[in-house]
Amino acid sequence: MPTPIQELTIALQSAIAAELSIVIERRKIAYFTPGEVREGKYIIVGIGEDTNAKRGIDLLDLQVDLGYQIALPEPTESNPDPANNIPWSDEQEQKVDAIKQLFRPDGALRDRAIAGVNYLRMQNTPIYRPDMLLDNQIFTSVIRLEFRSENE
């Protein structure tokens, strides 16, 4: 029987894929080799599960990370430093923003209960991971989504 975090990652994977017509892979860790993400990959990872009670209500908070990873492009004459190719980086950030749009006001998934839990908040800090960019030559952006279930 799946745990609550597993249920959420599976349901969220399907919901986002259906809204954006993308493939999202469930993983436990990010990719670290550029060859594995040459064409770009969306990943979903269950991160945390917290329970507590407030005023007779049991709260279940779940955290999920959604990531987008893609290998840096080859150097070109106009952009000899792939790590500082601003137009290319902006394009990757727009792919990540498409997911964030789903959870912003009026977003398709903002007010929808997914696997019995409700969207609470989103973090995308930093916008991309400079360490992965420099150390692994992979653009990596991670969105942390938090969900909550309340039971009396």
Question: Which residue ranges form the domains of the chain, and what is each CATH number?
Answer: 4-150 (3.30.2000.30)
Query: How far, CA to CA in Å, does 31 sit from each of 56, 75, 87, 129?
Result: 42, 22, 23, 13
Q: How far apart are CA 49 and CA 65, in angstroms?
A: 12
Amino acid sitting at position 39:
E
d(CA 98, CA 22): 11
Residue 128 in tokens: 């991309």
pLDDT value of residue 127: 92
DSSP one-letter code for 145:
E
Cα–Cα distance measured from residue 53 to residue 35, given in angstroms and rounded to the nearest whole number: 46
- pLDDT tens, N- to C-terminus, the chain (152 residues): 889 999 999 999 999 999 999 999 999 999 999 999 999 999 999 999 888 877 667 788 999 999 999 999 999 888 899 999 999 999 999 999 999 999 999 999 999 999 999 999 999 999 999 999 999 999 999 999 999 987 65
Tokens 């309340």 -> residue = 150
What 8-state DSSP symbol labels residue 27?
-
Q: What is the phi/psi pair of residue 7, to 5°?
A: -60, -45
